[in-house]
A and B are shown apart, each in its own frame.
Chain A
Amino acid sequence: MAGILKYLCNIDTPQVLVFGITGRQGKSRSRLMKGFGTRIAAGCTPGKGGQEVDGVPVYNTPAEAVQNHPEINSAVFFVPAGAIARAAFDAMDAGIKFLVLTADGVATQDSIKIKEKAAETGSMCLGPNTVGMLDTDGYLFGLIGGKASWAKKNYLPGRVGVISRSGGLSQLLASFHCRPFLPGPRPDGSFGPLWEENYPGLSAVLCVGGDPVPGITILDAARAFEADPRTEVVVVYAETGTTQENDLAKAIEDGEITKPVVVFLGGKFTQAGVAQSHAGAMIRNESETYTVKKRVLEKAGALVVDRPDSVFAATSGFLTR
């Protein structure tokens, strides 16, 4: 069974280049990724070419890495925000098609340039400001999952696809669908286990990031889950700011997305123009408000909940036994 990247950017098996692999975070996260099953082909840190990190060869540039490892098709970046645009451009110029940009605090102009460059080269970028993505087919990118043993225990194969604008809620919505006997509020008002041992499970989780200009959007991710035969229900953590939810609603209305979509929509009390810890949640116009997003999503047929613990009962209601 192919993972979600097959449907997102036509990658059957990710072969990953890790930017910043010689740094503390790059090193520890590479171990986590490998421990979960991700194939790391090489690392890249300017000036540190020729070294090895846990047996992974390090190159000065992505072009050099790809020349020596032509199987590389994806990359994850553990580099500071100020260096991310240059590194991403180099990766895209080297032909890498899927990039995960974890850095927080990337200048909006840089995010825009990365998106423009991706459109030119045909690459897709998850982030910036993303915790990453995880596929229960056996690979993950970024910070998601914690320890490898924890990730293997908490993210189990199944039928729910998760898309989120928050790193923490990506993990929560993904892993809670994999917990037997998860307690929660039921649609009839009672509280208790929502399922027994037969938890719904996860196909993949994609955190599109909390910035105002995301690379891969909620709609891009929803299209991939629509095509992914493992996924029966798409669960989204959405919030105010940007037009991602409005675009998703239109795609549902137009029949492009036909699978059931459950949305936990945050931001009911977010005021326009106020800075948020997710920079992308700032409301810039009426269409980006909670009220408008809820209206268009519900009109299109998505099930919108405003309590996080209501998501799971909603999901199970859509699953065929």
Chain B
Amino acid sequence: MPALPEYKTRILLESNGVPMVPAVFLDHVPEILPKPVVYLKAQIPGATSRAGRGLVRRASSQNEISTGLTELLAEQNCLGVLAAEAADIRREYYAACLLNFGGSGSLPGGVLVFSPEGGTGIEKRTGSLVKIPFSLLNPPSADEIEEKLPGVPNSGSLAEFLNKMINTFIRYKLTVLETNPIAVVEDGSHIVIDCRAEFEKHGVSKKDAHLFELPGNTVSDTTPLEKAVESINTDDPAGTGFFRATRDSVPEGAVAVATNLCGGGGKMLWEMATGGRTDIFTLNESDTSGGLSAFKSYRILRVILSQPEADVLVLTGSGMAFQNQYHLASAVWKALRESPSPLPSLLRFGGTDQEKAIQLMDEVSQNLPVEVRVFRPEIFPNAMIEQISSILSENRVHQEFKAPEGELLFETATPPARFIYHPEKNPGGTEPACVGECPTGFLMWKDGIIATNPEAKCIGCLACETASLLRDNGVLTIELDLPEEVE
């Protein structure tokens, strides 16, 4: 789960009225320094046990503040430094809100974990932890929380504090919210000294997005090709587009397989078939499912084919997709004929229009520069992999593809595409096959040209281009943008 650093977590807690130790966030060394004594805390996403790593320092003079700030700001992945006033702490507590996933007959919900002991090393003092389950739908009042804190001094004030913490946890749909320590100060009130949060990206509402954004200078382990898929998802969000490259190197002697596993089921079938094999190395995970367009399948396939270490492409879903397999096959054909480095491919189609998909690939595969073998869904990945060694080519194939020039007919925004007409390929000026192939009626033949029907929508299926290339000499082609990271 993504983690939110302390200075950002403070904002969430403060917005729900949780009292915090006064502090200022600094992303540079200011001319006017904070007054000592302060604690300087490096703000690094996901960092824990900062004190033990020298990322938290007590500064009791202007000189120490200046030096500490300079050094901490130079730490890798440091977003800034929180300079927090020293508090007169009389007692420390620990509290965290977590998710309870339920199961075995119990309902899920939240859990408040509380300890009358706080500070570092709390995880080793599990005996002092009290777990208080709560409902996310009907969270407990302060009075109800107080009943669960017997023997804790000033429990009414503490319960109010914890109630606000739970409200913060629920309001922002966090997965973890930890305050450690909660300090009891001289007047008996409670303040947060340190805190952190974890969240799900898809749990963040649009209006709160700014609270969860981090400056762009953090070191990310996202690979360029993963970024490419992120950008594809941004401009064509419909359906699932998941790609993750392995971080390991290809072992000596193993075949490097680029995979398009279509969905979670396909991924699991592949993993079960190859997980115990040392001669097959899976270069990437991918999930292209959930009703995505063929345009998007094509673009993600181009990312998958861009892996320079790849020896072979395997495409298989579960074997019974609701995603139209003919549209998927159109995307595969387009990717293999347009990629500068296509791969020998093992392709398994199963689901709606699977026969059309298999027929298409049988028809076009002879003209591709790489060998393609097509499988019916009754042949499972555990059988497909037995053919990998016999399809490998000695060297990676390279080809040049230049999109044919023509007249821009129109563009679609989502999915984004440019439709190019080539009138010289339709000398008779008759209605081309691509119009009749459009499954939604978006393409029309009107007054001797291809027009669009404003009442209909392009679903990005590629059926028009496929029909055009197979039956009309390519009178209509489609150009799809690719992120710069792709080949």
Give chain A's interface residues, CB within 8 Å of chain B: 24-25, 81-82, 104-113, 115-117, 119-120, 131, 143-147, 150, 154, 164, 166-169, 171-172, 174-176, 179, 182-184, 210, 212-213, 217, 237, 239, 242-244, 246-247, 250, 266-270, 276-278, 281, 284, 306-309
Contacts and interface: CB of A to CB of B under 8 A. Distances in A.
Given A116-B137, A242-B101, A247-B104, A108 B175 contact: yes
Given A109-B170, A116-B136, A213 B322 contact: no
B22 interface: no
B102 interface: yes
Interface in B278-303: 285, 287, 289-291
B352 to A, nearest CB: 3
B263 interface: yes
Interface in B231-253: 240, 242
Given A104-B240, A268-B276, A278-B264, 5 more contacts: A105-B202, A107-B202, A176-B378, A277-B263, A307-B272
B27 interface: no
Contacts of A117: 137
B406 interface: no
A208 to B, nearest CB: 13
Given A24-B457, A104-B290, A169 B318 contact: yes
Contacts of B291: 25, 143
Taking chain B's interface residues, is the majority helix, strand, or loop, or is none over half, making it mixed?
Answer: loop
Contacts of B321: 146, 168, 171
Interface of B: 99-105, 107-110, 135-138, 170, 173-175, 200, 202-203, 205, 240, 242, 262-269, 271-272, 275-276, 285, 287, 289-291, 317-322, 324, 350-353, 377-378, 380, 382-383, 457, 459
Contacts of B350: 172
B320 A175 contact: yes
25 contacts: A25-B291, A82-B205, A105-B202, A106-B202, A107-B203, A108-B175, A108-B200, A109-B203, A112-B136, A113-B136, A115-B102, A116-B109, A131-B322, A146-B324, A146-B352, A167-B265, A169-B265, A169-B269, A169-B320, A176-B319, A210-B264, A213-B102, A237-B265, A266-B268, A269-B276
B457 A243 contact: no
Nearest to A107: B203
Contacts of B276: 268-269
Contacts of B352: 146-147, 150
Contacts of A154: 320
A154 B351 CA distance: 10
Contacts of B136: 109, 112-113, 116
A109 B351 contact: no
Given A172-B320, A175-B320, A267 B268 contact: yes
A166 B265 contact: yes
B99 A146 contact: no
Contacts of B324: 146
Contact of B351 (A107, A171, A183): A171
Contact of B173 (A109, A119, A143, A179): A109
The 3 closest A-B CB pairs, nearest first, are A168-B318, A269-B275, A146-B352
Nearest to B350: A172
